[in-house]
Amino acid sequence: MSNLFATKPLDKLIAESQEVGEHSLKRSLGPLNLIALGIGAIIGAGLFVRTAAAIADRAGPSVVLAFVVAGIGCAFAGLCYAEFASMIPVAGSAYTYSYATMGELVAWIIGWDLILEYAVAAATVAIAWSEYANNVLAWFGMKIPYQWIHSPFESDPVTKVSGIMNIPAVIILLLLSLLLIRGTKESAFINGIIVVLKTAIVLLFIGIGWSFINPANHVPFIPEPTTYTTPQGITHSYGGIMGILGAAGVVFFAFIGFDAVSTAAQEARNPKRDMPIGILGSLALCTVLYVLFAYVLSGVATVQDFRSTGREASVAFAITKYMAGYEWLSRAVTVAILAGFSSVILVMLLGQSRVFFSMSRDGLVPPVFSQVHPKYRTPHKSNMIIFVFTGLFAAFVPADVSGEMTSIGTLFAFILVCAGVWILRVRRPEVERGFRVPFAPVVCTLGILTCGAMIYGLGWTNWMRLIGWLAIGFVFYFLYGKKHSRLNAPPPEMPEGISLGK
């Protein structure tokens, strides 16, 4: 059992990051690319969809405070990610960091957990993408029937029609998976264009919507503690401290993305300088936008709106109903959101493939996940396998369930990253760090406590989903990963196409 907690030597990790090979990942991303990558992942479904869900189910106008709590938790974790990424510039994010600090079993747990953050997040955003795409089709007198844009577990509250599968969500996942196979640099360029577009739209909504705020919608700013039962029969704490913590866990989905920057560490030109800039820069910019956006949205429309017809495509709904004369903004928001969702999916799929790339190099998942395309130098087979998984999830699982699974999985990952920085400061203080977390023990502890509080706020149903998911992961680890681990028993020859380098 001792091998379960064997750590991967830092020297080996750093040497791997400097290898050069025909099948290595290409270093093509600078600091601006990385900030854009972070913003591309951060501003998306969390802001445009999960905000309305948090207002309706958990916090009302105090969702603004929930964004502050989530932002604080992300800031602590972001500092820890920045130190790790500058010290260990290897693909794999929290998985790689955990392997170096807490051992193989914990690394497996976090790698498996990151599937919730990246793959399930991509599926969640694809579901939201399909809702807004259907709105665009309605402009031209077309509409996809309810049953083909919803999962079998959902039904129309008016017509009572049940969903069958979400076809548009599967299509967008396929298209973006193919783009990723084509190349990281090309994907980053397209992502950069989308980032400019959707950031401009967020600023427009904040600027114009501010004058349409109804002060009555912000009273009381923190609702009295009670409970709210959704149309699906799920009961949540609403209002008070628990409502804010629960909402923070829900809107935490909106912050997922800054850590996805760290998965591209091995494709950064100067990771020791660029990774902290990319991670902390994208996080800081987005936190300010989020607080302002939540204040405007919760002031323009009512809680009841978001509990009924305004829940789906919530921003466009609020503009159409309450901001007379700005129908053009509603349409512009819809188009920008569609583009924005696309960039989020793109970064989530990239993050997932890079985590599996590292796990495959270590033997914990099959070699197919680290095979690199001879021309494009991207993990093409991994991208297509991930597409199949995310496509099934997007087609048949409701967005509320997948969104909260993503949040709790990511919060768990952040806790381990915060702990990992502290552990490595004690065990390996001599290792060069391009960036150091200030007041590390305090920052790491606060990060663990803040993220833990948000996990607590998400409620027991999400705790059980996380435990169930990790239990499935343990089965995979003991049936395959432990037997094929290269840490303690490296194979005679590494399969072709697994070299990772400069």
- pLDDT exceeds 90 at position 106: no
Pull the structure tokens for residue 372: 């690199």
- pLDDT exceeds 60 at position 502: no
Residue 39 lies in a domain: yes
How far apart (Å, rounded) are the C-alpha atoms in residues 386 and 390? Answer: 6
Please state whether beta strands 235-238 and 226-229 pair in parallel, antiparallel, or not at all (unpaired).
antiparallel
Mean pLDDT of all residues belonging to the chain? 82
- pLDDT exceeds 80 at position 476: yes
Q: What is the pLDDT of residue 210?
A: 95
Kindly compute the dihedral angle of the four CA atoms of residues 43, 49, 50, 51, in this order, to the nearest 10 degrees. Answer: 80
Residue 12 lies in a domain: no
The stretch 380-404 carries a mean pLDDT of 86
The stretch 207-218 carries a mean pLDDT of 94
Q: What is the pLDDT of residue 265?
A: 60
- pLDDT exceeds 70 at position 264: no
Identify residue 115 by its one-letter amino acid code.
I
In terms of DSSP H, where are the helices of 214-259? 240-251
Domain that holds residue 392: 35-484
- pLDDT exceeds 70 at position 20: no
Largest Cα separation within the chain, whole Å, is 70
How far apart (Å, rounded) are the C-alpha atoms in residues 365 and 350? Answer: 17
Q: Is 269 exposed, middle or buried (0-12, 13-18, 19+ CB in 10 A)?
A: middle
Distance of CA 35 to the CA centre of its chain: 15
Q: What is the pLDDT of residue 223?
A: 92
User: pLDDT tens for residues 291-322?
Assistant: 999 999 999 999 999 888 777 778 888 998 99
Q: What is the pLDDT of residue 23?
A: 41
The stretch 130-153 carries a mean pLDDT of 88
Q: What is the pLDDT of residue 500?
A: 36
Distances (CA, A) of 374 to 378, 387, 492, 496: 8, 20, 23, 11
- The pTM of this model reads 0.75
CATH number at residue 323: 1.20.1740.10
The string over 137-170, giving b where at least 16 C-beta atoms fall within 10 Å of a residue's C-beta and e elsewhere, is eeeeeeebebbebbbeebbeeeeeeebbbbebbb
Q: What is the pLDDT of residue 495?
A: 46
Identify residue 415 by its one-letter amino acid code.
I
Q: What is the pLDDT of residue 487?
A: 78
Of 196, 219, 209, whose CA–CA distance to 316 is shortest?
A: 209
Residue 403 lies in a domain: yes
- pLDDT exceeds 60 at position 91: no
User: pLDDT tens for residues 329-357?
Assistant: 888 888 888 887 887 788 788 878 888 88
pLDDT bracket for residue 41 (50, 70, 90): low
Residue 501 lies in a domain: no
Q: Is 492 exposed, middle or buried (0-12, 13-18, 19+ CB in 10 A)?
A: exposed
Residue 20 lies in a domain: no
Give strand pairing partners of 227. 237
Asked if residue 405 lies in contact with residue 465, where contact means CB atoms within 8 angstroms, the answer is: yes
Q: Is 232 exposed, middle or buried (0-12, 13-18, 19+ CB in 10 A)?
A: exposed
Residue 390 lies in a domain: yes
Q: Which residues does 121 contact at the CB level (< 8 Å), separation at least 6? A: 253, 256, 344, 348, 402, 406, 410
Q: What is the pLDDT of residue 90?
A: 65
Number of residues written out for the chain: 502
Residue 64 lies in a domain: yes
- pLDDT exceeds 70 at position 102: yes
Number of CB atoms found within 10 A of residue 21's CB = 14
Q: What is the pLDDT of residue 256?
A: 76
Identify residue 460 by its one-letter amino acid code.
W
User: pLDDT tens for residues 43-80?
Assistant: 766 778 788 889 989 999 999 999 999 888 888 888 88
Q: What is the pLDDT of residue 499?
A: 42
- pLDDT exceeds 50 at position 40: yes
Three-point CA angle 263, 268, 272, nearest 5°: 95
Q: How many domains does the chain have?
A: 1
Residue 25 lies in a domain: no
- pLDDT exceeds 80 at position 501: no
Per cent of the chain over pLDDT 90 is: 22
Give strand pairing partners of 416. none
Q: Is 1 exposed, middle or buried (0-12, 13-18, 19+ CB in 10 A)?
A: exposed
Helix (H) or strand (E) holding 235: strand 235-238
The stretch 161-186 carries a mean pLDDT of 86
